[in-house]
A = this chain, B = another copy of it.
């Protein structure tokens, strides 16, 4: 397969991916929570099938457009995990007409009123709560606001109050497994305080937590009903640096042709840049920014990360690898190297399709 690669190519190790899916399905089962996986990372109908194979029927997406793609591919229970964009109500009505069960997130009562007035059927609604990440969601500190939204839902049969949703994305900025666990414990506590406060309004609210770091490392999920992680299907260097996954769990790599060697600066130019990786980065032990790590591609996968070999700079199509003398000497122009991505969701979104080691192509929306 490798000898057919001539351009930047997104490689998918299916065995690693299946094992990542198994891990999360099994963990959810063991801890008694329902897994509603987020499909924003892979955005692929074929990869979706691997989840169906493990009994998954309800999924999460991050945009109505992505929901359209998965509805077109047969999915019938979809959460759009984004503060609902009322301009897309027509599409939601379309879904309802097709019998799709739709779950939406709201963060204000006006949107609930709007939905009650414009929907042609009933949707399930989450109130998105913010336990400290400060991206979207109503702060758990403003219970009055939450109650106003809940009261608005109660006015219409079209807006069924289903649950409380939280993406505690601040776990991505923690520096230890313990810190992630403690942040989750705090989030779950706040979510449950809100649920308790709403008990007189409705007794059956689901609590769903959304981030991969927490879903991977938290073992005590009491107080949680559903989890919606996405990134775990592939993981990436961010997850590895957080110790949320092992390096060997990372299921995607970009194959990049070597186009130039610069002996003086021990740097190599690859075809692989911002249009392939996006521009997320991490910092190494010397506080130097980098955009990916290097692996050697093999017939059925790739090697462990090569020490002292990093993608240190990218522009639109160019990538610059800084390498140890030893590794530099082993590479030549015309070779293809593997680069593990910092952020697999953005990389997959840019690359557009997946190539497996058995020579298959999998679609990306």
Chain A residues close to B by CB (< 8 Å): 5-7, 40, 62-65, 82-88, 90, 107-108, 110-111, 114, 134-136, 139, 142, 169, 257, 259-261, 264-265, 269, 271, 274-275, 278-280, 313, 315-318, 320, 333-334, 336, 345-346, 349-350
Contacts and interface: CB of A to CB of B under 8 A. Distances in A.
Contacts of A62: 316-317
In the complex, the count of this chain's copies comes to: 2
Chain B CB within 10 Å, residue with most, of A6, A260, A280, A320: A260
Contact of A316 (B40, B313, B317): B40
A86 B107 CA distance: 53
A91 to B, nearest CB: 8
Contacts of A345: 316
A136 B318 contact: yes
B317 A63 contact: yes
Given A135-B313, A274-B278, A275-B349, A6 B82 contact: no
A275 B347 CA distance: 10
Contacts of A278: 274, 278-279
Chain A binding surface, main DSSP class: mixed
Contacts of A280: 274, 279
Given A136-B269, A260-B83, A6 B318 contact: no
Nearest to A332: B110
Given A316-B40, A318-B135, A346-B275, A87 B269 contact: no
A57 to B, nearest CB: 24
A271 B85 contact: yes
Contacts of A142: 264
Contacts of A108: 260-261, 333
Nearest to A280: B279
18 contacts: A7-B65, A7-B87, A7-B88, A40-B317, A62-B316, A62-B317, A63-B271, A82-B271, A83-B259, A83-B260, A87-B334, A87-B336, A108-B260, A135-B320, A278-B278, A278-B279, A279-B280, A350-B350
Nearest to A86: B334
Contacts of A261: 108
Contacts of A269: 83, 107, 135-136
Contacts of A313: 135
A240 to B, nearest CB: 19
A318 B346 CA distance: 13
A84 B139 contact: no
Contacts of A85: 6-7, 257, 259, 271
A134 B269 CA distance: 10
B333 A110 contact: yes
B279 A135 contact: no
